[in-house]
Amino acid sequence: ASAPEVNYQAGTSPLADVPMYQSANPKAPKMTQAEFDRARQTYFERCAGCHGVLRKGATGKPLTPDITLAKGTDYLKVFIAYGSPAGMPNWQTSGEMTEADVDLMARFIQQDPPQPPEWGMADMKKTWKIVVEPKDRPTRKMNNYNIANIFSTTLRDTGEVALIDGDTKQIINIVKTGYAVHITRTSASGRYLFVIGRDGRINMIDLWMPKPDNVAEIRMGLEARSVDTSKYKGKEGDFTDKLAIAGAYWPPQFVIMDGNTLEPLKIVSTRGVTVDTQDYHPEPRVASIVASHFKPEFIVNVKETGKTLMVDYSDINALKVTELGSARYLHDGGWDSTKRYFMVAANNSNKVGVIDAKEGKMEAIVDVGKIPHPGRGANFVHPKFGPVWSTGHLGDDTISLIGTDPKKHKQYAFKEVAKLKGPGGGALFIKSHPKSTHLYSDAPLNPDPKISQSVVVYDIKNLDKGYTVLPIAEWAGLPDDGGAKRVVQPEFNKAGDEVWFSVWSAKDKASALVVVDDKTLKLKAVIKDPRIITPTGHFNVNNTQHDVY
Ligand code: DHE
């Protein structure tokens, strides 16, 4: 089996189905059109995540024809079939590709990379739809839901999100969205939800409607992962619910939109030069985006160039972008408890960048474990080190704690102050809550089902005691249908006394949500419904709106 971090990146890309121009390289081995088409499909499904769309390399090596032609078909076939200790999966010996597939891919990567189309303003406008005009929307909340405690749960493979009432655990609505929604964020007021599919489709959901549903949508790119909204209110203006922003993997760009209608206003390309070697990179993908509370700014993290862009949105016709050099392969991250420092994982550099949103500078770059993957991370007060932010890792079994209080705990600030030991690698998300004394960590990509189907909990007051295992998938009481039942993403309710988990199986297998009582660590509820298909991320409205984690 391949390492967890490889499986994580070898997911399908919507670009597999996009028409593209393919030139034949006269020096490369011959291929028929049918072979090109099949190879291209496989490349975007299995390879592009690591090697990039244009094969310039990211976490995987570059595979441009100048390199691959020199290696030749036989050499490439061995590499693809057997993999490498550096992380290349063994596609043939693992049974995931046949010998014919491997031969096809070895010939394909010697051709010029096909270039997917751009996606500019005209394309966006064509897909932009206001479902309910702002003037026709409710002027007050038209339902009895406690909207601050609604959860938005991604139903990955059906292209939907489930809106679930956190108080009653009943499904409020299943909303049609883009494919495999990656994240949900709220407007500053908490009234609207913004979700973005892997295919770049954004849906804006109005929680004031009698039955909350879509009010606007747009496709902002061909492949994407991140969306957020303007949060600043202060002397430079009130931007509550004014603007939205989304970042694309392809084309490499971000777009600023009207926060009430999703009308696209400004597109900014992220193509440019890398932070370290200062070489041009043609496809720097946009990873995490957050909105600053200190300034009218979006913080946009660009993966391949390793740059954090501080985008001042106070006048988008005179857009000011401050470029901070962090480290390559920026991915996910979250705020420290004061929301002044944004902690962003540079995953394949094994570092966490600390961005001071108040001063607009890189505060520190902290060495952590192998392939940090925080989600948004977890904040808590450590008995010795004071306020810390924490991240788990895909590539090792540790949790890194980073001090975040330069005022009262200066000697620990922005250093890795401790490592907790977890059950194994393959961790994706970690979570705590100001009202909780627990720290939860999942490990959905661990190859051992015992680990991937449970979570571990640490007692913050007694971290030396080690962890307690909660068998979440077992508690779900699902049929023994061979489903993977990966337990993914702890998320607290508004009160901070319950933790929700997804039990994620394939589309044709049973899945569920499990709710745990945070005080007793006992099972509180299981949410099962035939409509809960492939649940992955879930986002509590209050905690997402106020960045509580
Ligand atoms: Fe994610 C966050 C990208 C695989 C579920 N994921 C993010 C973010 C990025 C990202 C850039 C940060 C967004 C932000 O905060 O603005 N994710 C990618 C990938 O490129 C990758 C490795 C491969 C891919 O093909 O997508 C990938 N992610 C996954 C999964 O396999 C997961 C488990 C299920 C899925 O949908 O495919 C998954 N990613 C999530 C979730 C978050 C996320 C639930 C939000 C975490 C949070 O707490 O904010």
Q: Residue 443: count other Cβ atoms within 10 Å of its Cβ.
A: 29
Question: Which structure tokens are listed for 417?
Answer: 């102050």
pLDDT in tens, 13-66: 889 888 887 777 888 999 998 999 999 999 998 999 999 999 998 888 999 999
Q: Using a 6 Å cutoff on CB, does residue 404 contact ligand 1?
A: no
pLDDT at 214 over 50: yes
191: helix, coil or strand? coil
The pLDDT of residue 490 is: 98
Q: What's the gap in Å between 198 CA and the centre of ligand 1? A: 9
Q: How confident is the model at residue 2 (pLDDT cuts 50, 70, 90)?
A: low
pLDDT, mean of residues 301-316: 96
Separation CA 549–CA 36 (nearest Å): 46
> What does the pLDDT read at residue 438?
98
How many whole angstroms separate alpha carbon 87 and alpha carbon 457?
Answer: 29
Cα–Cα distance for residue pair 21/3, rounded to 1 Å: 33
- Tell me how far apart the 2 most distant CA atoms of the chain are, in Å: 67
The model scores a pTM over 0.90: yes
User: Is the CB of 487 within 6 Å of ligand 1?
Assistant: no
For residues 257 and 246, the answer to whether their CB atoms sit within 8 Å is yes
Q: Are 490 and 438 in contact (CB under 8 A)?
A: no
- Give CA–CA dist 302/93, Å, rounded: 35
Rounded Cα gap, residues 166 and 170, in angstroms: 8
* pLDDT the model gives residue 229: 98
Percent of the chain with pLDDT over 90: 90
Rg (CA), the chain: 23
Task: Name the residue among 82, 88, 41 with its Cα closest to residue 63.
Answer: 88
Buried residues in 474-492 as b, exposed as e (16+ CB within 10 A) = bbbebeeeebbbbbbbbbb
Ligand 1 center to 262 CA (angstroms): 22
- pLDDT recorded at residue 326: 85
Half-sphere exposure (Cβ direction) of 177: Cα atoms closer than 13 Å: 33
pLDDT tens digit sequence for 363-392: 999 999 999 999 999 999 999 999 999 999
Q: Which atom of ligand 1 is nearest to the CA of 538?
A: 44
Residue nearest to atom 36 of ligand 1 (CA): 182
| 214 φ/ψ angles, rounded to the nearest 5 degrees | -65, 135
**pLDDT at 86 exceeding the cut of 50:** yes
Is residue 239 exposed (0-12), middle (13-18) or buried (19+ Cβ within 10 Å)? Answer: buried
β partners of residue 386? 382
Q: Which of 178, 175, 136, 181 is nearest to 156 (CA)?
A: 181
Percent of the chain residues past pLDDT 70, beyond the cut: 99
| Strand residues in 383-510 grouped as ranges (E) | 386-393, 398-403, 416-421, 430-431, 438-441, 455-459, 467-470, 486-492, 498-504
Q: Which of 56-70, 167-181, 262-276 has the lowest mean pLDDT?
A: 56-70
Q: Is 18 helix (H, G, I), strand (E, B) or coil?
A: coil
pLDDT of residue 359: 96
Beta bridge partners of 457: 440, 468
| Phi, psi torsion values for 474, nearest 5 degrees | -60, -45
pLDDT at 57: 85
288 lines ligand 1 (CB under 6 A): yes
> Distance between CA 311 and CA 292 in Å, rounded?
10
Q: Is this prediction's ipTM beyond 0.90?
A: yes
Do 488 and 504 form a contact (C-beta atoms < 8 A)? yes
346: closest CA among 361, 363, 329? 329
Report the pLDDT averaged over residues 455-466: 97
Rounded Cα distance between 100 and 452, Å, is 33
Which residues on adjacent β-strands are paired with residue 191? none
Query: Which atom number of ligand 1 is nearest to the Cα of residue 303?
Result: 11
Q: What is the mean pLDDT of residues 449-454?
A: 97
- 29 C-alpha to ligand 1 centroid (Å): 36
**C-beta 428 within 6 A of ligand 1:** yes
Which atom, in ligand 1's list, is nearest to the CA of 226? 16
Does residue 55's CB lie within 6 angstroms of at least one atom of ligand 1?
no
Closest atom of ligand 1 to CA, residue 183: 45
Whether residue 536 contacts residue 488, with contact meaning beta carbons closer than 8 Å, is answered with yes
* Residue 85 confidence (pLDDT) above 90: no
pLDDT of 1 > 70? The answer is no
The pLDDT of residue 25 = 81
Judged against a pLDDT cut of 90, whether residue 348 lies above it is answered with no
Region 274-288: mean pLDDT is 95
375 lines ligand 1 (CB under 6 A): yes
Nearest CA to ligand 1 atom 15: 288
Name residue, tokens 């699902």. Answer: 478
Q: Indicate whether 425 pLDDT > 80.
A: yes
Cβ–ligand 1 distance for 182 under 6 Å, the answer yes
Q: Is 405 strand, coil or helix?
A: coil
pLDDT one-digit tens code per residue, 469-498: 999 999 999 999 999 999 999 999 999 999
Q: What is the mean pLDDT of the chain?
A: 95
- Please, what's the b/e burial string for 313-328 (b: 16 or more CB within 10 A of its CB; e: otherwise)? beeeeeeeeeebebbb
Both tokens assigned to 379: 């904040």
Q: Which long-range contacts (CB under 8 A, 24 or more apart) does 449-457 make?
A: 449/484, 449/485, 451/423, 451/424, 451/426, 452/426, 452/484, 452/485, 452/486, 452/487, 453/485, 453/486, 453/487, 453/503, 454/487, 455/487, 455/490, 455/501, 456/422, 456/423, 457/521
What mean pLDDT is predicted for residues 314-322?
96
Contact 218, 8 (CB under 8 A): no
Average pLDDT over residues 446-465: 96
* 83-92, 346-355, 423-432: the lowest-pLDDT one: 83-92
For residue 397, give the nearest of 345, 451, 343, 347 by alpha carbon: 451
Cα 456 to Cα 263, 459, 470: the distances in Å are 43, 10, 6
For 387, the token pair is 């306020």
Half-sphere exposure of 181 toward its Cβ, with a 13 Å CA cutoff? 32
Q: How far is CA 360 from CA 52, 255, 322, 392, in A?
A: 30, 21, 8, 26
Active site positions, annotated:
47, 50-51, 88, 331, 373
Alpha helices in 115-154 (DSSP H): 121-127
For residue 10, pLDDT over 90 is answered with no
- Residue 332 to residue 94: CA distance in whole angstroms: 29
